[in-house]
Amino acid sequence: MSTTLSVEKTEPGGAILRDVLRKAIRLRELQLVVAIAVVVAASAVAHPNFISPGNISFMLADSVVTAVLATGQTIVVLAKGIDLSVAPILGIAAVVVGFPAQNHNLPIVAALGLVVLVGLVLGVGNGLFVSVTRIPPIIATLATLSVYGGLQFIIANGQEVVNIPNAYDALGNNDVVSGIPWVLVIGVGIAVVVALFLRHTNVGRAIYAVGNNAGAAHRSGIPVQRVIFATYVVSGVLAGIAGLLYLCHTGSADSTTGTDSNVNLTSIAATLIGGTTLTGGRGGVVGSVIGAVFLSVALTAMVFARIPAIWEPAGVGLLILLAMVTDRHSSNLTARARRHRQGST
Amino acid sequence: MTAAAAAPGAELRPAVKSEARGDSRRRDRNWVLALVALLAAEVVYFSGTVPGFFGGGTGLLALTEQFLDVGAIALGLAVVILTGEIDLSAGTMSSFAGIVMAVLWRDGLEIWVAVVVALLLSAAVGALNGLIITVFKVDSLLVTLAMQFILGSVATALGGASPPYGFPKSFVSIAGTGTIGPVPNQLIVFAVLALVISLLVGRTRVGRSLTLIGFNRPAARYSGIRVNRTIVGAFVVSGLMAGIGGILVSGLYNAARDDIGNSLLLPGITIAVLGGVDIFGGKGRISGVIVATFVLGFLTEGLLVAGDSSLSATMVTGILLLVCLAFKIGLDHRRGVDDRALVSRRFRRLQSIGDPS
Amino acid sequence: MSQAHRHRTPADQPDTSTITVDAYGERLMSTSPPASTRYVASHVSKAFNGAPVLHDVSAVLEPGEVHSLVGENGAGKSTLFKIMSGLYRPDAGELALGGERLADLTPRGALQKGVYLVPQEPTLMAHLSAAENLYVGALPHRRMPFIVDWSRIHREAATYFERVGLDIDVETPARQLSIAQQQLLECARALVHNCRVIMFDEPTSPLTSHETEILFDLMRVLRGEGLALGFISHRLDEVFEVSDHLTVLRDGRMVASAGRDEITRDQLVTAMIGRPIGVRTRVRRTSDVTDRREVLKVEGLSSRPTFEDVSFVLTKHEVAGLAGLVGSGRTEIAETIFGLRKADHGEVWLDGEPLEHRTPRRCIDAGLVYLPEDRGRNGIFSDVDLARNVTAGIVPRLPLRWHLISTAREEAVARDSAARTSVRAASLGASISTLSGGNQQRAMFSRWLLAEPRVAIFDEPTRGVDIGAKDDIYDIISDLATSGLACLIISSDLEELALTCDRVLVIYEGRIVGEVRDEDVTTARLGELVVGGGRG
């Protein structure tokens, strides 16, 4: 076996460095960090208060709910799906826990178990529609969005959660150590666990494989439909947990919680901005979390710039468009580079 | 050529009554017939069980005013879905059009001029949707989702704290609650729209391009059909129809509503799918969508008249959508269409949009 | 993970007996391959939608042997291998591996038994690394279940890559690999799964001669290790170079089976095409036509790196050919002329008028049509009825009545055009998918006849068409040329070009490297030119 085919010729050290740099520049996570820095710097010049420890802590804590939702959304999108029903799942979890907590002082551990159960059941619903009856994900989850929304309305029954026990409030708003809120620790913990799960377990890798090429995954013995099913269940559970975090952080829940704050849009936006593509199999949780932070920073900057809150959804929508358009360009470039390389060998 | 023409090639019988296996036109027709039967059963049921539903026939006709705005949106959505795309911005597009019209009128414009301007703007936003999708080759799902929220913000901002209300009588009569005899004016407007769209899709060259693109986009391209232009056109139609839906909403409530638009999206999609439009594009007839408008509309209104809350009516819409799709996909499966091939049609499109490899 | 970045110098051969794998892989690999790996397919039959593709075919893959299937397009070679690897289920007949009968074989079951098909087109996960692609579906895990052992994957992938002669970084994303490298990676997958039977379905068609040699070296090594190998190729030279045993299929039937040294090339070809070579009459017309006006002129057309500086002229009444290997750029040239792809440079003239800003629509309206290579994907609208399939090329010219399409007149137009190419169908309203391949192709011809073209490019006009219909299609093309059309035929089937063309242009790696006319148009001469040889 003396003859071999090689992709890369041996390169001098400088070229390797250049290569690494080029790769880094193309990395979405790095682009986002730079974007965050730019937004922060610009806002700080105009409003020095923007970089006060209090505001930074607020922005980070504020991004946690989005980040947890985006983590679940990322898993679904990696397997070439989409989940438009995370908003009512979050809302149902919040009201299901909120009322017993307000009225009967439900212990927080039981609350956690309850939201996980709620997310599990509703996620199973989505998973069944997508993987068993094979309804396209957009339509299936758009339909469950309204079904779950109705369910939330019925559960809330016109009531509102306004008072939550101290334990909940402490979880939502107190710091572990000064400047680092509890929710942030929980959010980071979830993101790390999911990132490790996606990278280092065979189920995680199967999700990537299905998203890349479902036919080839099937040929390799991966149970494609079961993997797709699982992604919706995980997304549901994470949306349930996000509901608890939302309740603790804001101290309120009602029949339109989640839907009224456009968490569907923000979770998808964070995922896409973070570099996970709707074509499946590419991206990851780290990007989505940074994307959530970016969203939070950008929206806070809008507030500081005195832009009315009604423009928030429009801002997020514009960011989604921007993320898609720029991604299209970068993938074009890599495709061109590839063709060129193949042509020259 | 003469040799070929003389060859035994006259095996083509007229297509009028085809018993051929896999005749898609015939299947579509059966679906429409089934819907008509469903509609009849539903009207009979509610008339018998819900007092005040039938109302001597005029009550029934008057009820249509409550849902024809959704019907208009569904007609536009059907055009987009036929090409295999989706338009999630149709709901807030309605709010947007209604608010634009109302604000222009409040600022002194003649009401019908305001209507025309609002519709032109809706069509323009639809064109923008289509252009972003075709020029940047990104998925319509995300573009229109983003547009949904952008339009929502714009509508809320334009409308301000209390959106305009109390339009001139002529407007409210034609676009809203006026009647000719027992027939609501809205029903006449809807009939005109339905006729135009069904002729557009079924009997024009543009309509033929639309459906062929939905059936097989690459083949359409290789056949010389201007794919991008046609898709932009579909989004223009969808924008325009959503705009008209918004005008009808304003007429019905005699007020511009920035809050109601997005709740019209799901029923709109449900009507299109229930009407037999294949969510993957190509298959479907507008006549089915028209019948489905009344099927879903009377169902919702029947439940509301019977005293159910509007949200549980929305839930029923969602459930109906799921059941209907599961049923259709199951039918295709039984007919021997490989369901994996079916699902992979959408996947393939996504793939081709993303990475060329 | 940090130590697992670059393993270009693997230590030793992987010890496959110790591989433990995760939950999916456990079942895949627990059954060690049977001692004897003689793989027998006996009396296999298969039909698609009632059209027989294989009829009572038997083949034996012996350990330590390369067994080639040869035959024309559509002879059933790929179908047989797909049945043997569990992708299709046979209608009749059985499979037996080392004496054990394999019933209801699935791709997964085949892999468990140690049978692998290297597909015609590699199906890798574009965004996953080369190493992960190797193990996908059966990633080895650490002591804790479900936790993927990346360092071992990278270490062992490197040794497998070394073994198949693939010198790449194990973390290279699959989308950056060339087709040849992807093909070798597919071979390595078979080794990872410890396969004893490996079948190759036309692995060489996208490869250069150098890459082909690498693949053959690998096949010889595997044969030396006692594996049973199956092989399909269209190039007879390769078949004779690498095989030990040959089985000839024609129209789904086995017509010959012999050791390599027991059969001559001529005998083989005779068996393949069902008549002695050269007896088939040339469809080509004699050049008694006087009107030789230039209709299409292509000048300096380039789209780097696919093709460069392509210039040629087509005249009225002419049937010209474009020969070249798969991947030589021939389809891309045609698609660029037809406006489906953008050219970097170059111009196209039709009847002396420049065709600028070309799109398919503009080309069709100017009188230039293109019949695509992949009929199922780019040609037919499979759920649509025959009539609308035939008129799909002239949508802007559909007959109108009161500004609406006149269905009756449209059907009349479609019926006339379908009759011109003798399409056989139950009715104009039948979905085109219910038609046979030959009739679908006839319908495609009638679509383009409606556009009244002056120039037509036919890309693989007889692909997926039964033998009988082939001759009819040659007749159609010949008649079209007689009536004045300038035709360009693109084909991998050199005999087809030799039969139909007055003149053949040869493309090699994106450039026109030769042109042969009239009596020089022979399969042998074309065969030399398409692989880049025989210059001067």
pLDDT category at C101 given cuts 50, 70, 90 is: confident
Contact predicate C239/C66, CB 8 Å: no
Residue B15, in any domain of the structure: no
Q: Do C123 and A5 touch (CB under 8 A)?
A: no
| Same domain? C180 vs C264 | yes
Q: In angstroms, what separates the C-alpha of C7 from chain B's closest C-alpha?
A: 26
Task: Pick the most confident of A118-122, C59-63, C125-129.
Answer: A118-122
Model pLDDT, residue A1: 39
pLDDT in tens, B128-177: 999 999 988 888 888 998 999 899 989 988 888 788 888 888 888 888 88
Q: Do C107 and A8 touch (CB under 8 A)?
A: no
Helix (H/G/I), strand (E/B), else coil: C69 = strand
Chain A residues interacting with chain C (CB cutoff of 8 angstroms): 1, 3-8, 200-206, 208-209, 212-213, 215-223, 281-282, 338-345
Q: What integer is the mean pLDDT of C108-119?
A: 84
Question: Shortest CB distance from B269 goes to which of A142, A147, A278?
Answer: A142
Residue B318, in any domain of the structure: yes
Residue B30, in any domain of the structure: no
Q: What integer is the mean pLDDT of B319-342?
A: 67
pLDDT in tens, B223-253: 999 999 999 999 999 999 999 999 999 988 8
| Same domain? C269 vs C298 | no
Contact predicate C315/C350, CB 8 Å: no
Could you give the ipTM of this predicted complex?
Answer: 0.78
Give the residue among A299, A309, A343 at the shortest CA–CA distance from A40.
A299
| Same domain? C240 vs C383 | no
Residue B260, in any domain of the structure: yes
Phi-psi region of C509 (alpha: psi -120 to 50; beta: other; left: phi over 0): left
Query: In this model, does residue C203 exceed pLDDT 50?
Result: yes
Q: Do C431 and B20 touch (CB under 8 A)?
A: yes
Give the residue among C57, C26, C350 at the shortest CA–CA distance from C193.
C26
Of C244, C273, C302, the position where a domain reaches its end is: C273
CATH number at residue B203: 1.10.3470
Torsion over CA: B208, B211, B216, B218 (sign): positive
Query: How far apart are alpha carbons C176 and C178 in whole angstroms?
Result: 7
C139-C140-C141-C146 Cα dihedral, nearest 10 degrees = 30
Q: Do A222 and C137 touch (CB under 8 A)?
A: yes
| Same domain? C145 vs C269 | yes
Q: In angstroms, what separates the C-alpha of C401 from chain B's closest C-alpha?
A: 10
Q: Do B4 and C420 touch (CB under 8 A)?
A: yes
One pLDDT digit (tens) per residue for chain A, 345 residues: 344 444 444 445 566 676 676 666 667 788 888 888 888 888 888 888 888 888 888 888 888 999 999 999 999 999 989 999 999 999 999 999 999 988 888 888 999 999 999 999 999 999 999 988 888 888 899 889 889 988 998 888 888 888 888 888 888 888 777 778 888 889 999 999 999 999 999 899 999 999 988 888 887 878 889 999 999 999 999 999 999 999 998 888 888 888 887 788 889 989 988 888 888 888 889 999 999 999 999 888 988 888 888 888 888 888 888 887 776 544 433 333 333 333 332
Residue A86, in any domain of the structure: yes
| pTM for this model (two decimals) | 0.81
Residue A272, in any domain of the structure: yes
Could you list the residue range(s) of the whole structural domain that residue B289 is in? 62-330
- Would you give the end-to-end CA distance of chain C in angstroms? 56
**What is the count of structural domains for chain C?**
2
Residue B82, in any domain of the structure: yes
Q: Between the CA of residue B331 and those of A58, A133, A137, A235, C532, what are the distances in Å? A: 53, 11, 19, 30, 53
Q: What integer is the mean pLDDT of B97-114?
A: 91
Dihedral pair phi/psi, residue A156, rounded to 5°: -70, -35
Contact predicate A210/A80, CB 8 Å: yes
CATH number at residue A65: 1.10.3470
pLDDT in tens, C428-480: 888 887 777 788 888 999 999 998 899 999 998 887 776 667 778 888 888 88
Q: In angstroms, what separates the C-alpha of A7 from chain C's closest C-alpha?
A: 6
Residue C262, in any domain of the structure: yes
* DSSP secondary structure, B168-179, as one string: -HHHIIIIII-E
Question: Shortest CB distance from B315 goes to which of A146, A278, A338?
Answer: A146
Q: In angstroms, what separates the C-alpha of B271 from chain A's closest C-alpha?
A: 12
Q: Do A282 and C178 touch (CB under 8 A)?
A: no
Do you know the residue count of chain B?
Answer: 357
Query: How far apart are alpha carbons C276 and B310 in whole angstroms?
Result: 79
Dump strand ranges (E) for C109-150: 115-118
Which percentage of chain C shows pLDDT scores above 90? 11
| Same domain? C225 vs C346 | no
**What is the count of structural domains for chain B?**
1
Residue B130, in any domain of the structure: yes
pLDDT category at C534 given cuts 50, 70, 90 is: low
pLDDT in tens, C4-59: 343 433 333 343 333 333 333 333 443 444 445 789 888 998 877 666 788 888 88
Could you list the residue range(s) of the whole structural domain that residue A272 is in? 49-328
Q: In angstroms, what separates the C-alpha of C381 from chain A's closest C-alpha?
A: 22
Contact predicate C43/C92, CB 8 Å: yes
Please state, as a whole number, how many other Cβ atoms lie within 10 Å of the Cβ of residue A241.
25
| Same domain? C141 vs C189 | yes
Q: What integer is the mean pLDDT of C350-375?
A: 89
Could you list the residue range(s) of the whole structural domain that residue C346 is in? 294-530
| Same domain? C110 vs C170 | yes
Residue A23, in any domain of the structure: no
* Chain B residues near residue C365 by CB distance under 8 angstroms: 224
| Same domain? C241 vs C326 | no
pLDDT in tens, A52-76: 888 888 888 888 999 999 999 999 9
Q: Do C392 and B357 touch (CB under 8 A)?
A: no
| Same domain? C309 vs C188 | no
| Same domain? C311 vs C450 | yes
CATH number at residue C182: 3.40.50.300
Residue A149, in any domain of the structure: yes
Query: How far apart are alpha carbons C105 and C89 in whole angstroms?
Result: 7
| Same domain? C345 vs C481 | yes
Residue C37, in any domain of the structure: no
| Same domain? C227 vs C307 | no
**What is the count of structural domains for chain A?**
1
